[in-house]
A = this chain, B = another copy of it.
């Protein structure tokens, strides 16, 4: 890209215009979404003319692709540095540096909502990693066996993402303006309680469900007709 300027720094001043534009775009995409963010706003935040944005990135769409890759790389690089299981990995990362991490998590959540290629890669990495950790934990004995480890992995990722990026209406039901460290801390204990004890006092509901499930699974034709 540039021959003489430095690249990849963290300070806001003293950055390549490309980097300033990219960072501004990431911030706005994360906060307001891709559609609601226009090129002029990004340019203004980056302290740059609108034309330069297109000059450097070709189009708004391509700028999004660059931002996607950038955030994806940051997120996956960090995820590789940790070991604990699925949710703990995400939560731990988050708690360690909420301010910066929250931006990237929100960005990725928006990407997931809009079904971007980078989002698919990210989710696949998360689910595959989670599944592996679950299998290891089950083999090791620290986790209970499951009838469907893959689905459990998906579920744990789903819960992690939902907890990290709870939409404002949900966050407000606990008195928070939006998802963040406060909400996460409030939800953390109930999550762990459920993950260790469950919430049902007995296993009657599970037993009933298992009976229906097994009955449906072992007969070639489903009892009620399942669509999709």
Does A50 belong to the interface (CB within 8 Å)? no
- Please state if B169 and A158 are interface contacts (CB–CB under 8 Å): no
A170-B154, A203-B196, A206-B196 given; A189·B147 CB < 8 A: yes
* Segment from A19-27, A39-47, A69-77, A138-146 that makes contact with B: A138-146
- What is the distance, in angstroms, from A26's C-beta to the closest C-beta of chain B? 19
A195-B192 contact in complex given A173-B154, A186-B151, C-beta closer than 8 Å: no
> Does any Cβ of B come within 8 Å of A49's Cβ?
no
* Cβ contacts under 8 Å, A188 to chain B: 209, 213
Interface residues on A, range: 35 or more
Task: Kindly supply a per-residue 1/0 record for chain A positions 187-221, scoring 1 wherever the CB is within 8 Å of any chain B CB and 0 otherwise.
Answer: 11111111111111111011001100100000000
Given A146-B193, A194-B194, 14 extra CB contacts under 8 A: A112-B167, A112-B170, A113-B167, A115-B169, A119-B167, A120-B172, A123-B172, A144-B198, A146-B199, A154-B187, A159-B159, A162-B162, A189-B210, A192-B209
